[in-house]
A and B are shown apart, each in its own frame.
Chain A
Amino acid sequence: MSNAAAATLDHHHDPSTSTGIPNKKLLMWAFLASDCMFFGCLISTHLIYRLHPPPGTLPAREVFSIELTSFSTFILLMSSLMMALAVNAIQKGNLRSMRWSILTTIFFGLIFLGCQVYEFRNFVFEKHLTITNSILGTTFFTLTGTHGLHVLIGVIWLSIMLAYSFTGRLTEKDAIDVESMGLYWHFVDIVWIVIFTAVYLLEYI
């Protein structure tokens, strides 16, 4: 579709629904709102046990690698940029640009997951911190592992969408599908923004 034709579409409003919001987008926002509470509970559990650690607990800053985590944070932020560009591209009917943006987002997501696997391996085999041998390990691995699972689901979803785009059935009219996926991916990013501060940076103060 040409740019001129693309410009006639409004992707933010849908008069066919009573709310004026596309149903898929509304569903995704409702899901994300509920996921906020899920992560809120996991983060508070970690913070409670960090504020009242049992005697003999390993100091977290001796375990964490702030350089690696900062790199992961940067990568996830850049993946969010590429996701936003992918949504922008499909809304303009630029399928080729959307594919490249999604591919880059997948690449960044995989780098993030690779960093997390490396970090977990390092904690278990070098620092001897496992999910069962300390409260720090239990809350940390549960929280960051759940987030990592969300990233993995996002990467799989992105890959499926990328493959689907080659079937020729993904057009500008289906931009809402890419936008819903984008909302999920950005949510994973904002959860990490909170985890980065609450779990990692606060340990260094």
Chain B
Amino acid sequence: MSAPAVPSPTGPTDHHVEEQGKFWIYIQIAMLLAVITGLELVTVYLPFLTWILVTVLVVLSTVKFMFVIFYFMHLRWDKAFCTILFFIGLVLAGGTMWALLKLFGAEASRPLSSVMIEAPAAVVPAA
């Protein structure tokens, strides 16, 4: 059903200690993720400039994202190729999102429904 098991190059004792340690790492990270989620909630009610709040939220969610993929999804312990493979998809997705937001953010290519409804008011000269 799966690949054959192989001896660890680090030796049984080291590997066992590492596996035991992972349990507490997972617990600590889960607590950290819960705290960050709480911080995100508080952030949206803070009286700061919008761009500061957006930046803080993006940074906090990126931190959560990275903790999950590197610890819960084992990228930290896996071969680098897994990280590269996933980040290819991530970069393509991020690039697509950035391009779409830029394209449709431009004045000439705003979503059709929005343009159609707002256009008459914009072109009719004031009486």
A-to-B contact residues, CB < 8 Å: 3-4, 6-10, 12-17, 19-26, 29-30, 32-37, 39-41, 43-45, 47-49, 51-55, 66, 70, 73-74, 77-78, 80-81, 83-85, 87-88, 91-92, 135, 169, 172-177, 179, 182-183, 186-187, 189-190, 193-194, 196-197, 201-202, 204-205
A45 to B101, CA, bound (A): 8
A76 to B53, CA, bound (A): 24
Contacts of B58 in A (CB 8 A): 197
Chain B residues 51-69 with CB under 8 Å of chain A are: 53-54, 57-58, 60-61, 64-65, 68-69
Contact assessment for A22 and B61 in the assembled complex, using a CB-CB cutoff below 8 Å: no
Contact assessment for A43 and B97 in the assembled complex, using a CB-CB cutoff below 8 Å: yes
Contact assessment for B68 and A74 in the assembled complex, using a CB-CB cutoff below 8 Å: no
Known A-B contacts A48-B104, A190-B68; the reply to A55 vs B8 at CB < 8 A is: no
Contact assessment for B40 and A52 in the assembled complex, using a CB-CB cutoff below 8 Å: no
Contact assessment for B8 and A8 in the assembled complex, using a CB-CB cutoff below 8 Å: yes
Chain B residues 70-101 with CB under 8 Å of chain A are: 71-74, 77-79, 81-82, 85-86, 88-90, 92-94, 96-97, 100-101
Contact assessment for B41 and A53 in the assembled complex, using a CB-CB cutoff below 8 Å: no
A150 to B99, CA, bound (A): 26
Contact of B6 among A6, A15, A41, A197 (CB under 8 A): A15
What total of chain B residues lie within 8 Å of the partner, measured CB to CB?
68
Of all A-B residue pairs in the complex, the 6 with the closest CB atoms, nearest first, are A33-B89, A40-B93, A7-B16, A81-B30, A204-B44, A10-B8
Residue of A nearest to B76 (CB): A12
Classify the interface of chain A: helix, strand, loop or mixed: helix
A193 to B90, CA, bound (A): 14
Contact assessment for B96 and A44 in the assembled complex, using a CB-CB cutoff below 8 Å: yes
Chain B residues 86-127 with CB under 8 Å of chain A are: 86, 88-90, 92-94, 96-97, 100-101, 104-105, 110-111, 113-114, 117-118
Contacts of A80 in B (CB 8 A): 30, 33, 68, 72
Contact assessment for B40 and A197 in the assembled complex, using a CB-CB cutoff below 8 Å: yes
Other A-B contacts than A10-B8, A174-B1, A190-B64, 7 sampled, CB-CB below 8 A, are: A8-B7, A12-B79, A41-B93, A51-B101, A169-B1, A186-B68, A204-B44
Contacts of B9 in A (CB 8 A): 10
A24 to B3, CA, bound (A): 9
A87 to B65, CA, bound (A): 19
Contact assessment for A21 and B73 in the assembled complex, using a CB-CB cutoff below 8 Å: no
Known A-B contacts A44-B100, A54-B113, A84-B72; the reply to A37 vs B85 at CB < 8 A is: no
Contacts of A172 in B (CB 8 A): 5
Contact assessment for A36 and B93 in the assembled complex, using a CB-CB cutoff below 8 Å: yes
* Minimum distance in angstroms from A167 CB to a CB of chain B: 12
Chain B residues 17-70 with CB under 8 Å of chain A are: 19, 22-23, 26-27, 29-30, 33-34, 37, 40-41, 43-45, 50, 53-54, 57-58, 60-61, 64-65, 68-69
Known A-B contacts A14-B6, A36-B90, A175-B2; the reply to A19 vs B81 at CB < 8 A is: yes
